[in-house]
Amino acid sequence: MANTGGDSLGFGRPGARAVPRLFPAVIPDVEELLQTAVVVRLPMRTRFRGLTARETMVFAGPAGWGEFGPFIEYDDAEAASWLRAGVEAAYLGPPDPVRETVPVNATVPAVPADEVAGLLRRYPGAGTAKVKVAEPGQTLDDDVARVAATREVIGRVRIDANGGWTVDEAIAAIRAIGDVEYAEQPCRTVEELAAVRRAVGVPIAADESIRKADDPFRVVAAEAADVAVVKVAPLGGMRATLELADGLGLDIVVSSALDSAVGIAAGVATAAALPRLDLACGLGTGSLFTADVAPPFLMHDGVVEPRWFGPGRALDVAAHAAPPDRQRWWRERLRRCHRLLRN
């Protein structure tokens, strides 16, 4: 495996830049990236994050495959970090691991309570489940029932509201839902997270307040979170994520951004390289797809094992290729983001 060499990423201390620079020596020409780039559309079992299919782009480099899959609504400035992560994977490869397996949580989308048990059968041996709550159009009663149904199968539950509650709503909801390992991003802002944390006595996890923040260290300064949920692609790569995790000093959960198997490989490699990993990671989302570009990372006994799609490894992209108009749309998007990385 590749080592963690390279120049400073700019993370690791309060006041550092929120998005580190990429290693200048490995920024390839845009035409080189586009030569192997293919946009795929992966069908999903259940609507998740409002999607029934996931579009993403994969491309190959000397260290293997990288992924560029920022969500459609993200602007180019935010999407450029995802390209940075894909380039790192394809041109530098993974950091050196310190563990052979990574514990992974089950993921429960905002489905009716009576569907939960069947869904959880896809996560053999999982000791922790993350349950989506605060879904638009649903009620607190729906959330309470979904969490209760999950607890009947997996006793340790964490919830994720994606910033969907006000402070008062979050306090009332967390109290109604009951015992949880932590509540992830119950509200949008750092100040709101801190207010909820003071009120409920339940660990709070920050996700968007870290990966979308100008200064991810504000959650630490404001005593707003106990856990940092970090995602490799939005944070600009595996090494950037490891340096940020070290600087935050919080418990770390590496999670996916609804990645294909290529992006999940980078997430698992990052979790495998963390000096300390006490909590299950959100890297079991491959089970949400009915098809993928490579064999998905499916858990056994509650864990997944690091695996890298190295140079010369063929992916199943032809069967899942997006239509020509989507190929053109993503290729132009990559060009724009590449220009931002070069500036």
In a domain, residue 21? The reply is no
In a domain, residue 134? The reply is yes
For residue 78, say whether it is annotated as part of any ligand binding site.
no
Whether 197 and 223 have beta carbons less than 8 Å apart is answered as yes
Same domain, 299 and 206: yes
231 among known catalytic residues: yes
Distance, CA of 57 to CA of 327 (rounded, Å)? 9
Return the CATH number at 246.
3.20.20.120
For residue 226, say whether it is annotated as part of any ligand binding site.
no
Same domain, 196 and 84: no
When divided into structural domains, the chain yields a total of 2
Return the CATH number at 63.
3.30.390.10
Same domain, 239 and 221: yes
- In tens, the pLDDT along 73-124 reads 999 999 999 999 999 999 999 999 999 999 999 999 999 999 999 999 999 9
Residue 72 pLDDT greater than 60, yes or no? yes
- In tens, the pLDDT along 253-276 reads 999 989 999 999 999 999 999 999
- Catalytic position from the list 54, 84, 130, 132: 132
State percent of the chain over pLDDT 90.
85
Torsion angles phi and psi, residue 273, rounded to 5 = -95, -5
Residue 40 pLDDT greater than 70, yes or no? yes
In a domain, residue 31? The reply is no
pTM of the model: 0.90
For residue 55, say whether it is annotated as part of any ligand binding site.
no
Same domain, 116 and 153: yes
The b/e string for 290-317 (b: 16+ C-beta within 10 A; e otherwise) is: eebbbebbebeebbbebebbeeeeebeb
Whether 59 and 36 have beta carbons less than 8 Å apart is answered as yes
Same domain, 287 and 323: no
In a domain, residue 296? The reply is yes
- Catalytic position from the list 151, 218, 231, 333: 231
Same domain, 133 and 74: no
Residue range of the domain that includes 229:
102-304
Same domain, 134 and 183: yes
In a domain, residue 57? The reply is yes
Bridge partners, 53 (sequence order) = 43
Same domain, 136 and 217: yes
Greater confidence (108 vs 51) lies with 108
In a domain, residue 236? The reply is yes
Nearest one of 143, 135, 231, 217 to 180, comparing CA atoms: 143
Instruction: Please give the radius of gyration of the chain, using alpha carbons only, rounded to the nearest integer.
Output: 19
Residue 6 pLDDT greater than 50, yes or no? no
The b/e string for 66-93 (b: 16+ C-beta within 10 A; e otherwise) is: bbbbbbeebeeebbbbbbbbbbbbbbbb
